[in-house]
């Protein structure tokens, strides 16, 4: 398995790298958890590895500098193309993160993790119901018929970097959990037929996976305590039709973590090794990722993100914000002018016509953890560091790094 290989490589290099913060240090300071949809995805398989093979890729340098300036202890990167050997994971660390960028200090992550993504894996079915089944990677329509949208297997994958040890044996992945096995799943309906919830055929539902990428429970040992880093990247609730198949899937991808972290509600969940059940009661956790759902605006289905924001076990009282987001909404206007939510909480700079800028990226801790602060890396235009976020076409990503500091 790739995560074993990646972590063993990191462990073998321990003599060359600074030690992870010890138990005493971890107990005395806040731990910074972060998520960043870094747009380190490419349109050709293997291109990301090629781009990261030298230290000169312009976008990767900017992404690395943002991370170096935010300095998270535990980081989820969304839209990081997966490769089976973990080569991109290693190259981004060695050629970019561990090398100072733009005057920032290098940052070292001794522990790293990646695993397969459903993106770009052919389903063998006509999932968009356009009358054809596309199984050739890169062919028109291939992404719509894959388990998760992608033109090749692993496009738009995920990666975790950590200064703290990862409990490899304790990792749980939910890549292959079937949507139909979620009780009360909001399956999409074909509006052209009288039958309910029939967009996907019975045969398609036998193989259709809930996660558009994957869901990972990555236990991280912070001092004397294990914190479960719950990573995911639900599909955008757009690019579909009246059946709202993506909006409904986004809702239930978010719901998986809501049920997983609520004792008594996650009994139906099974991981990729066949182990059933949710997170044991009392276990501290941090949910991180581009959830593609705003609390007040956008196209999400039935306020999907409120399944987490209003969750009895999650502390959502502190919302990371930035002055740059407020400024951008005012300058860009368009759909932003009609939004109900406060723009200071936005984390993504989307098209001004629709949907406008949104809060899409979240770091949400369990109530057993103490929030000490947080923020969104979105400098105002007069700040010299605004060169790292910029305006379209962005030098880094259309999303911003979001972090939260928590104490045990």
Supply the pTM of this predicted model.
0.93
Per-residue confidence at 184, pLDDT binned at 50, 70, 90?
A: very high
Residue 26 has pLDDT above 60, yes or no: no
- pLDDT attached to residue 9: 32
From the centroid of its chain, how far is CA 155? Answer: 13
Select the more confidently predicted residue: 65 or 19.
65
**Cα 263 to Cα 381: distance, rounded to the nearest angstrom:** 45
pLDDT, one tens digit per residue, over 83-135 is 999 999 999 999 999 999 999 999 999 999 999 999 999 999 999 999 999 99
pLDDT, one tens digit per residue, over 334-385 is 999 999 999 999 999 999 999 999 999 999 999 999 999 999 999 999 999 9
- pLDDT attached to residue 28: 61
- pLDDT attached to residue 25: 55
Residue 6 has pLDDT above 60, yes or no: no
Average pLDDT, stretch 221-232?
97
Q: Which 8-state DSSP code applies to residue 13?
A: T
User: Is the separation of the CB atoms in 328 and 349 below 8 Å?
Assistant: yes
Rg (CA), the chain: 20
pLDDT, one tens digit per residue, over 320-338 is 999 999 999 999 999 999 9
Q: Which 8-state DSSP code applies to residue 136?
A: S
- pLDDT attached to residue 134: 98
pLDDT, one tens digit per residue, over 185-208 is 999 999 999 999 999 999 999 999
């Amino acid at each position: 398995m790739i995560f074993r290989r990646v972590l063993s490589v990191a462990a073998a290099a321990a003599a060359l790298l600074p030690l992870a913060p010890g138990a005493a240090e971890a107990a005395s300071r806040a731990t910074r958890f972060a998520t960043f949809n870094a747009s380190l995805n490419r349109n050709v398989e293997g291109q990301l590895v090629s781009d990261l093979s030298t230290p000169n890729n312009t976008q990767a340098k900017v992404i690395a500098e943002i991370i170096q300036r935010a300095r998270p202890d535990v980081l989820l990167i969304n839209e990081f193309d997966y490769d089976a050997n973990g080569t991109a994971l290693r190259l981004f660390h060695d050629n970019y993160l561990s090398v100072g960028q733009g005057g920032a200090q290098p940052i070292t992550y001794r522990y790293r993790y990646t695993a397969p993504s459903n993106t770009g894996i052919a389903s063998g079915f006509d999932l968009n119901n356009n009358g054809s089944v596309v199984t050739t990677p890169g062919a028109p329509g291939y992404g719509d018929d894959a388990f998760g949208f992608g033109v090749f297997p692993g496009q738009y994958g995920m990666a975790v970097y950590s200064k703290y040890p990862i409990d490899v044996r304790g990792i749980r992945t939910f890549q292959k959990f079937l949507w139909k096995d979620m009780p009360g799943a909001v399956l999409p309906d074909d509006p052209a037929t009288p039958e309910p919830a029939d967009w996907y055929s019975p045969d398609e539902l036998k193989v259709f996976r809930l996660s558009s990428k994957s869901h990972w429970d990555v236990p991280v040992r912070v001092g004397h305590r294990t914190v479960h880093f719950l990573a995911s990247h639900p599909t955008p609730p757009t690019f579909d039709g009246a059946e709202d198949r993506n909006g409904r899937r986004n809702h239930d991808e978010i719901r998986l973590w809501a049920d997983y972290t609520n004792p008594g509600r996650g009994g139906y969940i099974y991981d990729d090794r066949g182990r059933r059940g949710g997170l044991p009661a009392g276990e501290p956790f941090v949910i991180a990722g581009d959830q593609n759902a705003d609390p007040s605006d956008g196209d999400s289905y039935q306020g999907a993100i409120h399944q987490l924001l209003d969750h009895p076990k999650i502390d959502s009282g502190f919302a990371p914000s930035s002055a740059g987001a407020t400024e951008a909404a005012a300058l860009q206007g368009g759909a932003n002018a009609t939004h109900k939510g406060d723009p200071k909480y936005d984390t993504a700079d989307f098209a001004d016509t629709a949907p406008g800028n949104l809060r899409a990226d979240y770091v949400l801790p369990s109530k057993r953890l103490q929030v000490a602060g947080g923020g969104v890396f979105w400098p105002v235009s007069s700040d010299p560091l605004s060169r790292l976020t910029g305006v379209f076409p962005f030098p880094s990503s259309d999303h911003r790094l979001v972090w939260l500091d928590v104490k045990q």
